[in-house]
Structure 1
Amino acid sequence: MDATTIASDRPLPQDEGVEHRWVEVRGTRLHVAEYGTGQPILMVHGFPQHWFAWHKVAASVAAGHRLICPDLRGFGWSGQTRRGYDMDSLADDMLMLLDALGLDRVGLVGHDWGAHLGFRLCLRAPERFCGFLALNMVHPWSRHRAVLPNLWRMWFTAFIEYPVIGRAVLRHWPAFTRFLMRHQVADRSSWQEAELEEFSAATRASAHAGQAMFWQYVLRDVPALVRGTWRRHRLTVPTVLLGGERDHVIAPSLLAGAEGYADDLTVRLVPAAGHYLPQERPEAVAEALQKLFTGRS
């Protein structure tokens, strides 16, 4: 595996109004899908997805916005490398992508792991972001008394994070990926069969990146959270944290407690929604995006 290895050689999903490019970044090529023109907004996908995770949201907000939807290193149609899947390295990728695109300051939207990465970006380089919409992810200042009763919700990570085993599960057991996607939404009809097939097939191709990202979280992020590393940092980027009222992965109780570490943070819950807000409630995501970045809904 080297920097020229592409995570997937499958045809790109078709969607109206999307354009594709590949950008050289830190020893690999990142695939970037773009919608619309206007105010630039970086859209960072979560697991087990890629750029196509944003297609429903894009249908509502591409007019007036330039939505920049990269595939993270090793995912989708971006290049795979042996290393580089910890949050700081992925943050370096995104910052250098913005440099390569000639963008000094953008809006930021992230879902799931993309939102976790978004918090890291805002804490490291707040001058690059005019606002941050975080979807279905806990913030870096979680209270231990809120986290401990909810650890059971992460049972599925035991099948992903360990080297060798995790890659084998993601590569050879697509039913596992489909199970997660179907059971982590509040309404299973939110998924079309073609979407489940697309993301489960993509996960097989990006098994190395998926396993490595989870493992790096165990090695680096969990100890930092236990030590309270991020309590020495303050979130200065205006942020909206949007969660699903029925999110079985990131429970609503985990979204509280960051107010003392942020200058401008709003937490809202979407009723009757689960863990995949861009899929289940794209209109709620679009409304929050419009309000945060344009002041209108």
Structure 2
Amino acid sequence: MAQIIKDHNGNRVTHGRETVNGVRLHYYTAGSGEPIVLLHGVPKTSYYWRNVVPNLSSEYTVIVPDLRGFGDSGRTLAGYDMPNMAEDIAQLMTALGYDTFHLVGEDWGAAVAYALAAQYPNRVKKLVYQEMLLPGFGLEEWSHLTPENVKTNAWIWHINFYNVRDFPELLISGREKAYYSHFIKHECYDPTAVSDEAIDEYVRCYSAPGGLRSMFEVYRATFQDAEFFLEAAKTKLKMPVLALGSKYFIAEENTREMNLVAENVEEVILPWGHQLAEECPEELSQVLLEFIKKEEPVLR
């Protein structure tokens, strides 16, 4: 059974649903103060942030949505390109009454976060870009079958697999737990950090009707996303950006890509694997707090 997600006082977070941009999103909130939005990646859900939330909620209002097609959000037939998924979150924050906010994304959630910051730069106060390769800037190259890629821990072979229509659904359906247990833990430096109950919660959502299809549609929009990101990068982000990588996965590549799309980039690399909120939630939380609290120099 999934653990109950709680805030810093041990109180349950508040769950809600909001229909925006043609999709019904599930989200939960905790705390008070300036808003911080946490966006999960793939193959995860908002549950991924459960151990980070109580470390932030004593000083901030934390908003944690399930992305379109994931967790307990609606599984639409289309709309899984990054600019549209970013629009989901922008409209959700408007519906919740927030004009500006800090934004943290990991994996595909980081791609959504960058797309949101590129489309609404005046709404995002600070951006944390955690462990992602952007389409058009490196994702495709890391998925190639080459001797160099195969030798690394971060060869992302599944980019090609998921882009094949129908066959991933055929091969994984009914085997979600075996597949995702291996997949998620393989990307960790400490595979024991991901508990069985976390795997079960992720599998619950991906086993639901449309769960696998929705996830694969994110990958099937890769070329469309690449066009968007290459155009968006022509106007670099001006807000502070933290390129947050893991030593044993994407690492410095995370920073290289952010320097191509943003002017004010800081780098932190933690000595863990890809699943930072599972492997080192306390350390990750401290990095997030230090970055968000940091006062920026006034430009004259």
TM class by shorter chain equals: 0.7 to 0.9
Q: How does 1:1-297 map to 2 (within 5 A)?
A: 14-16=4-6, 17-138=12-133, 142=137, 153-174=155-176, 175-205=178-208, 206-217=211-222, 219-222=223-226, 228-247=230-249, 250-256=250-256, 258-259=258-259, 261-271=261-271, 273-295=272-294
Check 1:254–1:42 CA distance in 2 against 1; reply closer, same or farther (3 A cut): closer
Q: Tell me how far apart the structure 1 counterparts of residues 258 and 63 of structure 2 sit (CA, whole Å).
A: 28
* Cα displacement (A) at 1:233: 2.3
* Cα displacement (A) at 1:287: 1.2
Q: Tell me how far apart the structure 2 counterparts of residues 48 and 208 of structure 1 sit (CA, whole Å).
A: 12
149-158 or 27-36, which deviates more: 149-158
Deviation sequence 1:65-90 (CA, Å, 0-9, x none): 11100111111111111111111110
Q: Is 2:40–2:109's contact at 8 Å kept on the other side of the alignment? A: yes
* Cα displacement (A) at 1:44: 0.6
Q: Is 1:139–1:255's contact at 8 Å kept on the other side of the alignment? A: no
Give the letter for the 1:203 counterpart: Y
Task: Report the TM-score, using the length of structure 2 for normalisation.
Answer: 0.85
Q: Is 1:119–1:140's contact at 8 Å kept on the other side of the alignment? A: no
Question: Which residue does the alignment assign to 1:7?
Answer: none
| Count of residue pairs the alignment pairs up | 280
Check 1:81–1:13 CA distance in 2 against 1; reply closer, same or farther (3 A cut): farther
Q: Tell me how far apart the structure 1 counterparts of residues 259 and 212 of structure 2 sit (CA, whole Å).
A: 36
Deviation sequence 1:124-147 (CA, Å, 0-9, x none): 111111101111113577379985
Q: Is 2:242–2:267's contact at 8 Å kept on the other side of the alignment? A: yes
Q: Tell me how far apart the structure 1 counterparts of residues 139 and 174 of structure 2 sit (CA, whole Å).
A: 35
Check 1:186–1:98 CA distance in 2 against 1; reply closer, same or farther (3 A cut): same
Q: Secondary structure at the match of 2:192?
A: helix
Q: Tell me how far apart the structure 2 counterparts of residues 215 and 123 of structure 1 sit (CA, whole Å).
A: 21
Q: Is 1:141–1:258's contact at 8 Å kept on the other side of the alignment? A: no
Q: Is 2:2–2:201's contact at 8 Å kept on the other side of the alignment? A: no
Deviation sequence 1:5-52 (CA, Å, 0-9, x none): xxxxxx975222311001011222110111211111111110011111
Q: Tell me how far apart the structure 2 counterparts of residues 169 and 93 of structure 1 sit (CA, whole Å).
A: 30
* Cα displacement (A) at 1:257: 5.3
Give the letter for the 2:195 counterpart: Q
Task: Report the TM-score, using the length of structure 1 for normalisation.
Answer: 0.86
Segments of structure 1 that go 5 or more residues without pairing to the other structure are: 1-10
Question: Which residue does the alignment assign to 2:9?
Answer: none
Q: How big is the alpha-carbon RMSD for the aligned residues of Structure 1 and Structure 2?
A: 2.5
Check 1:64–1:201 CA distance in 2 against 1; reply closer, same or farther (3 A cut): same
Segments of structure 2 that go 5 or more residues without pairing to the other structure are: 7-11, 296-300
Give the letter for the 1:295 counterpart: K
Q: Tell me how far apart the structure 2 counterparts of residues 183 and 134 of structure 1 sit (CA, whole Å).
A: 21
